[in-house]
Every structure is written in structure tokens, then in C-alpha cells.
Amino acid sequence: MKIIPTQTKDDMASAAAEIFAEQISTKPDSVLGLATGETPRELYKSLIEKHDAGDLDFSKISSFNLDEYVGLPKDHDQSYNWYMRDALFNHVNIADDNWHVPDGTATDLEAEGRAYDERIKEYGGVDLQLLGIGVNGHIAFNEPDSSFPLGTHPVDLTPSTIEVNSQYFATPEEMPTKALTMGIGSIFNADRIVLIASGPSKADILYDAFFGPVTPKIPASILQMHKDVTLIADEEALRVIREKGAL
Ligand code: GLP
């Protein structure tokens, strides 16, 4: 694993944007794995700026998002489908048929999950996967569990995730309690993974995930076994890793 420490959240976004821009320039038909949450917003802004400056062409790029809330229609402003259009897709020249977000309104969620994994395979697999991390160590919506789930599947969200994410909904009751998420296996298949993290709330979990035991109780810990993972984090998020002398 490689760690890129940055002073600020903005620097974290710029460093991650450089890696994504290089990937897109080097392989214009790359398959990107994309993430939602607060952490990637500046990274997406930076990619839009590079696109506007004529430096990035998304016309042959395709993408697969990690997850979606169950039950939220695409046009709910807290759906991840909406988030991605708002944060990136509406502002770059990616083809409409080429970006994918799991459908959380599917009647058969298991079947939607299997079809999603098949589509990723048809596109040749993910070249570069972006990840954030939840305060409980979740990646995508793979919550702490007794085993590592493989494919895209429906999950019950934990009380910790519901508490953190309900702040974005008009009322906490609107926050879905289930999601459809790529599994650890789907994520692990990516050739290269970049995990971004920012702020003090991620400091403990980053140490546990990257320097503690590999366990499904901390889903992100499986990344220690992947061949090409880069962690880009600001100093607040790296505090515990520094204190324990791991960096
Ligand atoms: C969310 C998403 C994850 C994201 C994580 C951290 O619930 N499902 O993909 O990485 O939680 O989010 P944030 O970046 O807002 O801290």
C-alpha cells in the first residue's frame, strides 16, 4: 500500500484528481469505479475544471458506482444517481449509456445485483476504483459483518451509518435503512484502488483498517491484501497512523 499524506482536504482532492486525470489521459476508454459521500466532491470539481480547460475527455470513459439507497427514486436529491449527475456527469462529456449506478428501486434486488456485476464484467472490469471510508470501516455500503460479501447485494445499514447519513435528509425518518452495494469481491477485482479520507472522524478507523488485523468487522481492512492500493488522506485523518508510528 502507498500512502500520500496531504496537508488539507483540498490537497487530498487535487492529489486524487491527478491520479484520475492521468488514468483518463493514458487510457481514454478506462472503466472507472466511482464513489459518493462528502469526501469526493472536490475531486469531481477538479475533474470538471480539467474537462472545461480541454484537458480531459470523458467521451470513451465508462463508470460504475459503488452503491445506491434502496427505495429512493433516481430523482430524489439524496439518491446516489442524483448525486453523480449533480457532482460530475452533468458537467462532463460522458455518454449517458456509459455510466452506471445500481438501481435501488429494482423489485428483485438480488437479481439487480447479479446483473450489475455482469455488466461490470462485460465492460472488462474496473481499471481504477475510488473509495471513501465510513467511520465504522465500511467501504461502499459493506457494513461490518462476519464475512466478506462477494458480489453486488442488498444490505441493511447499521445504526452508525444511518445516524451519520441521516443528516443529509430533510428528516431523519426519510433516511433509507437498506442499500444495494457492490460487494468486497466486486471492489477487489479493480486493477487499482484509491481510497480518500479527510478529517478527524476518520483518524481511528484509518489506522485500524490499514494497520490492524484483516477482518470483516472492518470491511476496509481487506484492502491490505490488494495489489495496488493508494491511500490519500489529509493530516487530520492521518493523526492516529502518525501517533502510532506507522507513517
Ligand atoms: C457513505 C457511502 C460510502 C462513503 C462513505 C463515507 O455512506 N456509501 O461510499 O465512502 O459513506 O462518506 P463521506 O465521504 O461522506 O464521509
**Tens-place pLDDT, residues 118-128:** 999 999 999 99
Q: What is the mean pLDDT of residues 224-232?
A: 98
User: For residue 39, which atom of ligand 1 is closest to its CA?
Assistant: 14
**Is 66 touching ligand 1 by the criterion CB < 6 Å?**
yes
Backbone angles phi, psi at 64, to 5 degrees: -130, 125
Q: What is the pLDDT of residues 170-197, one digit of tens each?
A: 998 999 999 999 999 999 999 999 999 9
User: For residue 38, which atom of ligand 1 is closest to its CA?
Assistant: 15
- For the question of whether the overall pTM of this predicted structure is more than 0.75, the answer is yes
For ligand 1, atom 11: residue with the closest CA: 134
For the question of residue 156 being annotated catalytic, the response is no
Q: What is the pLDDT of residues 13-31, one digit of tens each?
A: 999 999 999 999 999 999 9
Q: How many CA atoms lie within 13 A of 179 on its CB side?
A: 25
C-alpha span between 102 and 113 (Å, rounded): 7
So what's the pLDDT on residue 106? 98
C-alpha span between 241 and 224 (Å, rounded): 15
For the question of residue 67 being annotated catalytic, the response is yes
Distance 57 CA to ligand 1 centre (A): 27
Neighbours of 231 (CB within 10 A): 25
